[in-house]
Structure 1
Amino acid sequence: MTDSAPPAPAHVGVLGGGRMGAGIAHAFLLAGSQVTVVERDTDAADAAAARVLESVDASIARGTALESVEEYRERLTTGTDAALFAPCTLVVEAVPEDLTLKVDALRRVEAQIAPEAAIASNTSSISIDELAAVLDRPSRFLGMHFFNPVPASTLVEIVRGASTTLPLVDAARGWVAALGKTPIVVADAPGFASSRLGVAIGLEAIRMLEEGVASAEDIDAAMTLGYKHPVGPLRLTDIVGLDVRLGISEYLAAHLDARFEPPALLRRLVAEGNLGRKSGRGFYEWDAS
């Protein structure tokens, strides 16, 4: 956090401690927040704590974290009961990209927090208004779409629903600035801005590979060298997860039009369990250890 940035929320909750949730927890810890991560069971909660602290250790080694790992550990709580969110001023939902899971998660969170507390969803594609419809206080809800890997990313997409208050949007801008990241604000629309553009490029790259236009390496090089993208669309799909990209593509195809229909190659790879980096193989071979 820079001297000119507003402070991070005093106490932040994160529901879901996977790769994204752990990254979000890491970001708020480094910004000075007390952070509580809630997971589905004790083993998952313990794994989330280890994941967050491993990421913190890496930041300390790079010189981007100003405190000791012990100090960060003291501000990190993990558990399985959503009641742990009671003192939080902000809770970020970071469960898998599934409407039913997210609806259940958001209801659990809202039942435990103060009326003035805010809830944010890390969804990358699901309608904020659709999610807000299940809440008693939709004015205190918005999207905060973080990018993977969270510690290294510099963008957070703030998604304003029809009921989201402007003061909450302004507060979210400040929270993002406190993390040393840049906010963009978009209206609720399928895929928002980032996922809609990113998926469109990714799907076309998969179609080109499927049609034999070029190799995965050469398709990616066209974008990294020709357009200065930091990573090519096929390698990025591997990093995001082919299953995640398939789910977003299906959602966009249902809510927009057939240009987002998943290519057969993407469906086949997911069916075979080739999900990208997390499985060891996607469009590339990865070290899955």
Structure 2
Amino acid sequence: METVTTLARLRPATDALRTSGSLALVPTMGALHEGHLTLVREAREKADHVAVSIFVNPRQFGPNEDLDAYPRQMARDSALLEAEGVALLWAPPPDEVYPKGYATNISVEGVSSGLCGGDRPGHFDGVATVVCKLFNQVRPDLAFFGEKDWQQLAVIRRMARDLDLTRPHVDAIHGVPIVREADGLAMSSRNAYLSAEQRAIAAALPRAMSGAIAEMRGGMAVKTALRELSATLLAAGFDSVDYAEVRTGADLIPSVEADPENRLFVAARIGGTRLIDNRALG
């Protein structure tokens, strides 16, 4: 595996890979877990070569968020990726991605509204901007993202379509199903922030979501099921619930229908840790 930290070296490295087949990109912020490695394996099945980026993107963190505390484990992550057969690791420093005088921002309307977009102003502008830059830097044929960040995936798909970053009628952006712990909690780098007591509480999130979906499918009004879901999480020990909503799967339009194509989205906090999850109602 080749590790590249400058654009000057990245371009010839990716050009060389493309001479012998297709290239997939798995963008990450590092602190890799089995969810990330699942993305890598999916990419290896569908492309001849896999590139992974590790970049803790400062533009998607708010002023009071965990940019400085976000786990950075480059040596460990590099070893994991090499063991998975990754061809190239793109690990630029911040000033390589955002050089002095950088002044461009990408904003995706509609799908970025509400949910995490409401709780984290500017977050999805930072996501869209850095992913657009990564696509232009690596120029992959395919890209892979986890469905745990479903709203992020919707933003990236819309941005790529609107800016003609992928070929027309080609499904170049692949969403990969959520990888979960044995107790159902969605894998996340931020799970490492949880104490043992908080981790036990966190397991209530997937259970409460499954219960709410069962209630909705059994005929309970969506709004009632969402109120009960929030109350269940608070009773279990969560400190707050940022949102519990049902939205359409593709366009993320709020809905009060228990349509199988709709999804349940939840964000809740334990101490300083914010956990998100989503599930299809069908």
Q: TM-score range by the shorter chain?
A: 0.3 to 0.5
Say which structure is richer in strand: 2
* TM value normalised by structure 2: 0.33
Say which structure is richer in helix: 1
* TM value normalised by structure 1: 0.33
